[in-house]
Structure 1
Amino acid sequence: MNEFLNYLVPGIADGSVYALAALGLVLTYKTSGVFNFAHGALAATAAYLFYEGYVEQNWPWPVAFVLSLLLVGVVGGLLLERLATLLAAAPTVTTVVATVGLLVLLQSLMTAIYGSADKKAGDFLPTNGPRVGDVTISYGDMMVTAFCLGAALALFLFFGRTRMGKAMTAVVDDPNLLALQKSNPSAVRRLSWVLGCCFASTSGMLLAPKLGVSVNVLVLIVIAAYGAAAVGLFENLPLTVGGAFAIGIMVNYFPSLTQKTDSLFLQSLPRNIPFLVLLLVFLLVPARLLTERGVRNARRFEPPRAFSPRVTAAGLTALAVTLLAVPHVVRDADITVYSAFVAYGIIFLSLGMLLYMSGMISLAHMGFAAIGAVASGKLMTFGFFDWLPFVGGNTVSWPVAILLGGLIAVPFGAIVAIPAIRLAGIYVAVATFGFGILLQQAFYLAPVMFDTGALVQHPRPGTDFYVPGTATAEPIEGTAAPLFGVDFNNERNYYYLALAVLFLVAAIVLVVRRSRLGTLLRAMSDSPVALSAHGANTNAMRVIVFCLSAFIAGIGGGVLAGVTQSASGSSGGTFDYTTSLIFVAVLGFCGRRPILSPLLAAFAFQVVKIYPPFDHPTMIEYRGVMFGALAILVAIWPALNFGALRGRRAVEREDGELGTLGFPSRLNAPPIQVVTVRQDDDRSLVLAGSQEASRS
């Protein structure tokens, strides 16, 4: 019994904090239809502000707590309500880009200001308390648990028993109908976002004493609340709280079982329980129980304007000539940067094809790239396929290894596509997000991937491979096979090799886009229901496009690893899950051209930082903030452009007053036109608008 209490008590305490974060996430999604991927970043921001006041300024902890809650919970909630209003009619892809952009902005801002090292906030709640057996139940943990249960009960009664609570649930579906019931939709939305952000802020400040103040750790822990929200189907508050407590107990209990093994993979499973729960919910729960909020009011995703074949051919030719000329016009020291730019361009091409050709989104693309990099590197250095006819010595040649690395990533693309088959929209993004984190935390250090050294050698064609730490020894029997007799240790030669792969991938993307499959994918992005009604198999298309995207990303990962001749799985490295988020933010503001936009995104991500003024240390430090801000701006631009700036045009009435026509969205629809029916002398019925009705 005492042993069980050793895990039950801290499990309930951790589950209480998970529950607070999950309640805030469910509350904002349930009342706005916008899934806030920046929820964890809000918690981290509140923790940093609390640290600034409590530790740096030596304020009493209640003062620091309340001030942080006001700034992040109240002010931040009001600002996010405005953002959610502008995103109300946006397609799912656009809302994901905006909230991921906000996550990148806040995460980069906190890192730039406070650094990446952990800060110690210190315990501010009582740590003493009564003992039950061998376990001390602190008064602080009891306070947190009581607050969590009280908040959950209050919200449950609020939604079920009060007029405002019912209005919060209704506002996302039809704000105009709600307005007719004498409820202010704007006030309802503001209250829900303020409450949701206050819950996120509270969870971040309560986690700070236990985990330290670290933006990456706090973001990851609060993201773990997604699992609890999934148990509640992103709607049911009691189930959400119950799921949070269950996850907290399992996270504390399972390490006692797995730490007895020598497997790092098994040892990593307890901290990944929230993401396993998240994926299991998406795989097993009936799709009818996971419905998107407010999606019926979203506007369609408009395709970019198509150019004539002649203009397209001329543009692609000019682009190809520019890329071929790069090594001859840049400094020799910068060619490596441009080689990485080409590799990132391949990965961005795969992500752009998924986003803008099918209307689906992936937040795990660097995971696919990591799989391709590891597979191709091991094939060249360990020779797993020495029975194939394309080998040099006991190793696979570079082109075959890169191709096989892409193919090995395909089954993982199919696995990620399973939620896309069963579900749609925002849940696909959440599932890929969880998959990317689970892949990094559970598999990166496993022997099948980077192993405990978190590093896989990735030699270029024709270069000798040595065991790390024995560079003066003879090359071992795992030497990369020569390719065309060219020395690819030369940076210029490797750039052209990577560029050749980029051209092949770009050709694949263009062929798919112009094929029948591409046409069907764009139709599925516009209306999957209508496409299914015409007999098309949308499930097969979703699997195909995810597999093709994973294949191209795997190839890009292999080319990228060849730049440094190694692939690292270390936290914060090239293949970290946060890079996938930055990719979405960067691609979000670079347009939706199938070839040009991914290359612009790769240029902004990799190359811009070596040129003035972007090479200044301050600019490099805050570039994530700029990426996030630009992603948000581009996401809300249609609403600003047609609503707040142009669409809200003045309409002069006959009586001289001025009115405005609002931006047509699900949260801010145009005013209802009053229509009356009158009967003329000839007994015919005439419909009259509000102005004519007022005269008659």
Structure 2
Amino acid sequence: MNQFLNYLVPGIADGSVYALAALGLVLTYKTSGVFNFAHGALAATAAYVFYEGYVEQDWPWPVAFLLSLLLVGVIGGLLLERMASLLSSAPTVTTVVATVGLLVLLQSLMTAIYGAADKKSGDFLPTGGPTVGDVRISYGDMMVTGFCLAAAAGLFVFFDRTRMGKAMTAVVDDPNLLSLQKGNPSVVRRLSWVLGACFASTSGMLLAPKLGVSVNVLVLIVIAAYGAAAVGLFQNLPLTVGGAFVIGILVNYFPSQAQKTDSLFLQSLPRNIPFLVLLLVFLFVPARKLTERGVRNARRFKPPRQFSPPVTRGGMAALALLLIAVPHVVTDTDVTVYSGFLAYAIIFLSLGMLLYMSGMISLCHLGFAALGATTSGKLMTLGFFGWLPLIGDKTVSWPVAILIGGLVAVPFGAIVAIPAIRLAGIYVAVATFGFGILLQQAFYLAPVMFDNGALVQHPRPGTEFSVPGTSKRFEPVEGTTAGLFGIDFNNEKNYYYLALTVFFLMAAIVLIIRRSRLGALLRAMSDSGVALEAHGANTNVMRVAVFCLSAFMAGVGGGVLAGVTQSASGSPGGVFDYTTSLVFVAILGFCGRRPIVSPLLAAFAFAVVKIYPPFDSPTMIDYRGVIFGALAIFVAIAPALNLGRFLGPRGKERDGEDSGTGSTQWRERIDITPGQPITVRTDADLALVGGKERSS
């Protein structure tokens, strides 16, 4: 009994904080249809504000607590409501760009002000309490648990019994209809966002004494509340609280069992229980129970105008010449940065194909890149024997290793595609985000990947390398791993052109698919998967195919990227960190929809801009993320503010576009000529009949 209490008591205490964070997330999504990826950043910001008042200014903790709740919960909630109302009919990718921009803005702002080191706020709730057996139950934990249960019960009664609660549920689907019933949609939305932000703020302040005031730790812990929200299907408050308590108990119990093994991979699984629960919900819960909320799913105000601008031969030739000339224009010390730029461009190519050709979204693309980097690196240094036993110990040449690295990412792409088959829109984004976190928290530690975060060597063709843990050293030999066409790719310009060659190959794949029948089918699926299925097409096969192809390209890009520094690391905050996948979507979101140019612009903004003035100054380095986050939010909400005329053709193009929201309306083009049959063309029709029109 005592042993059970050892896990039950802290599990319920942790579950209470998870529940508070999950309740805020469910409340805002249930009443607005906007999934707030910055929910954890709100909690971290509230913890820093509380730390400033309680520790730095030496105020009484109730004063610091109420001030943080006012600034982050009330004022922050009101600002978030305004942003959410502008995004209510926006496509999924736009809401992701805006909320991810807010996440990056708050993370960077807190780091710039308080530094990267953890802060200690100290316990402010009573730590004493009765002892049951060998377990002390603190009064502070009792207070938190009681507050959590009371809040959940109060919200349940509020939604079920009060007119305002029912109005909160109704406003998400049709605010105009609510206004006809003498309800004020703006007031309803403001109240829901203020309550949701207050729950997030409270969870952050309650977690700070246990975990320390650290923006990265608090964001990750609050993200773990996504698992509890998934148990409640992002709508049911009692199930959300119950799921939070179960997750809290499991997170406290399983580490004691995992410590019995020497495997770091198995030891990491208990702390990833929330993300495992999240993925299991998306894999096995019936799709009809996970329907998207929001006015965007009730009606479609504007049809999409164009999926991506046309690609001209002259433009492609000019772009190719510009890329070829780069090493002769920039300084020798900057060539390495441009090699990384090409590697990132390959990853952006794969993400752009997924976003704008098929209308699906992925928030785990750097995970695919990490799979490609570690696989190709180990094949070149350890051979098949060191990477997969009982196959052989011969090392693999660079091109073959890069190719195999991309292929290894394919089955993971197929696994990630399962939620895309069953669900749509924001749930796919959340599922891929959870997969990316699970991949980093658990699988990065597996021996076949980074193995406890150690560097994986990734030699270039024509360079010497040593085998980790041995005295073996390989010399460049033409035709083996260390040699390719007799060229020394240790030279930065030579490696740039090698990366450029791979980029051209990946770009050719994108263009070929874009101009093929498969590309037409993917664009039709992005416009309306239901309409395409009505024509007899198998959209499930297409979703899996495009996810697998995208994962393959990202894996290849990861191998090229690791070759820039000749190593790869899975350390938190590094190149392959899960948060970078979020940033990738946000950057690509405001770089346009062109299949080749937009990925290059995104890669340039991510990897190259920071080395030039004024972005290389110390002040800009500290606040670079703040500027990026503000820009991402502005670009996302600009169409709703009617700013398209200021943004030019690309801004107008985004105004009213829809990308994978699951709408069932087709995009039609009707040609009417007096005395002639009316010609109606839809994307689904053109795809299925090979591009020919039909007349009626």
Could you say whether these structures have the same fold, taking a TM-score greater than 0.5 normalized by the shorter chain as the test?
yes
Give the AA of the match of 1:215. Answer: V
Give the AA of the match of 1:142. Answer: M
Give the AA of the match of 1:173. Answer: D
* Residue aligning to 1:166: 166
More off after superposition, 615-624 vs 427-436: 615-624
8 Å CA contact 2:38, 2:103 repeated in 1:
yes
Give the AA of the match of 1:614. Answer: F
Q: How does 1:326-475 map to 2 (within 5 A)?
A: 326-384=326-384, 394-468=394-468, 474-475=473-474
Using the TM superposition, give the Cα deviation of residue 571 of structure 1 relative to its aligned residue in structure 2, in angstroms.
Answer: 1.0
Using the TM superposition, give the Cα deviation of residue 474 of structure 1 relative to its aligned residue in structure 2, in angstroms.
Answer: 4.1
Distance 1:434 1:386 in 2: 30
8 Å CA contact 2:464, 2:482 repeated in 1:
no
Task: Pick the structure with greater CA Rg.
Answer: 1
Is 1:548 the counterpart of 2:552? The answer is: no
8 Å CA contact 1:31, 1:172 repeated in 2:
yes
Give the AA of the match of 2:126. Answer: P
Using the TM superposition, give the Cα deviation of residue 80 of structure 1 relative to its aligned residue in structure 2, in angstroms.
Answer: 0.5
Give the AA of the match of 2:438. Answer: L
* Residue aligning to 1:131: 131
Q: 1:521 to 1:308 in 2, by over 3 A?
A: closer
* Residue aligning to 1:28: 28
Using the TM superposition, give the Cα deviation of residue 305 of structure 1 relative to its aligned residue in structure 2, in angstroms.
Answer: 7.2
8 Å CA contact 2:307, 2:593 repeated in 1:
no
Write the deviation string for residues 272-315 of structure 1: whole angstroms up to 9, x where unpaired: 00000000000110000111002223556735476566xx2111
Give the AA of the match of 2:515. Answer: R
Distance 2:466 2:369 in 1: 24
Distance 1:380 1:664 in 2: 45
Distance 1:269 1:42 in 2: 27
Using the TM superposition, give the Cα deviation of residue 621 of structure 1 relative to its aligned residue in structure 2, in angstroms.
Answer: 2.0
Using the TM superposition, give the Cα deviation of residue 645 of structure 1 relative to its aligned residue in structure 2, in angstroms.
Answer: 9.9
* Residue aligning to 2:250: 250
RMSD over aligned CA atoms reads 2.3
* Residue aligning to 2:298: 296
Write the deviation string for residues 397-431 of structure 1: whole angstroms up to 9, x where unpaired: 10111011001000000000000011111000000
More off after superposition, 376-385 vs 530-539: 376-385
Distance 2:241 2:382 in 1: 49
Give the AA of the match of 2:166. Answer: K
8 Å CA contact 1:385, 1:396 repeated in 2:
no
Write the deviation string for residues 60-94 of structure 1: whole angstroms up to 9, x where unpaired: 11111000000110001000000011101101111
* Residue aligning to 1:104: 104
Distance 2:605 2:120 in 1: 35
* Residue aligning to 1:606: 607
8 Å CA contact 1:396, 1:481 repeated in 2:
no
Q: 1:299 to 1:120 in 2, by over 3 A?
A: farther
Distance 2:163 2:93 in 1: 33
Distance 2:222 2:436 in 1: 16
Using the TM superposition, give the Cα deviation of residue 317 of structure 1 relative to its aligned residue in structure 2, in angstroms.
Answer: 1.1
8 Å CA contact 2:459, 2:566 repeated in 1:
yes
Give the AA of the match of 1:445. Answer: L
8 Å CA contact 1:91, 1:300 repeated in 2:
no
Distance 1:539 1:32 in 2: 29
Distance 1:138 1:477 in 2: 64
SS at match of 2:456: strand
8 Å CA contact 1:394, 1:477 repeated in 2:
no
* Structure 1: segments with no counterpart, 5+ residues: 647-662, 666-696
8 Å CA contact 1:393, 1:481 repeated in 2:
no
SS at match of 2:155: helix
Using the TM superposition, give the Cα deviation of residue 202 of structure 1 relative to its aligned residue in structure 2, in angstroms.
Answer: 0.3
Distance 1:24 1:543 in 2: 33
* Residue aligning to 2:192: 192
* Structure 2: segments with no counterpart, 5+ residues: 648-655, 659-696
8 Å CA contact 1:383, 1:394 repeated in 2:
yes
SS at match of 1:362: coil
SS at match of 2:58: coil
Give the AA of the match of 1:149. Answer: L
* Residue aligning to 1:529: 530
More off after superposition, 169-178 vs 479-488: 479-488
Using the TM superposition, give the Cα deviation of residue 476 of structure 1 relative to its aligned residue in structure 2, in angstroms.
Answer: 8.1
Using the TM superposition, give the Cα deviation of residue 454 of structure 1 relative to its aligned residue in structure 2, in angstroms.
Answer: 2.3
* Residue aligning to 1:633: 634
Distance 1:385 1:147 in 2: 56
8 Å CA contact 1:339, 1:495 repeated in 2:
yes
TM-score normalised according to structure 2 size: 0.90
Distance 2:45 2:173 in 1: 31
Distance 1:373 1:643 in 2: 40
* Residue aligning to 2:565: 564
Distance 1:252 1:6 in 2: 9
SS at match of 1:297: coil
8 Å CA contact 1:19, 1:228 repeated in 2:
yes
The percent of aligned pairs where both chains have the same amino acid is: 82
Aligned residue pairs total 644
Write the deviation string for residues 519-555 of structure 1: whole angstroms up to 9, x where unpaired: 1111111111111111111111111111011000000
Give the AA of the match of 1:462. Answer: G
Using the TM superposition, give the Cα deviation of residue 625 of structure 1 relative to its aligned residue in structure 2, in angstroms.
Answer: 1.6
Distance 2:446 2:301 in 1: 44
8 Å CA contact 1:386, 1:396 repeated in 2:
no
* Residue aligning to 2:152: 152
SS at match of 1:444: helix
More off after superposition, 254-263 vs 620-629: 620-629
8 Å CA contact 1:304, 1:593 repeated in 2:
no
8 Å CA contact 1:467, 1:476 repeated in 2:
no
Using the TM superposition, give the Cα deviation of residue 452 of structure 1 relative to its aligned residue in structure 2, in angstroms.
Answer: 2.3
Distance 1:418 1:50 in 2: 42
Using the TM superposition, give the Cα deviation of residue 573 of structure 1 relative to its aligned residue in structure 2, in angstroms.
Answer: 0.8
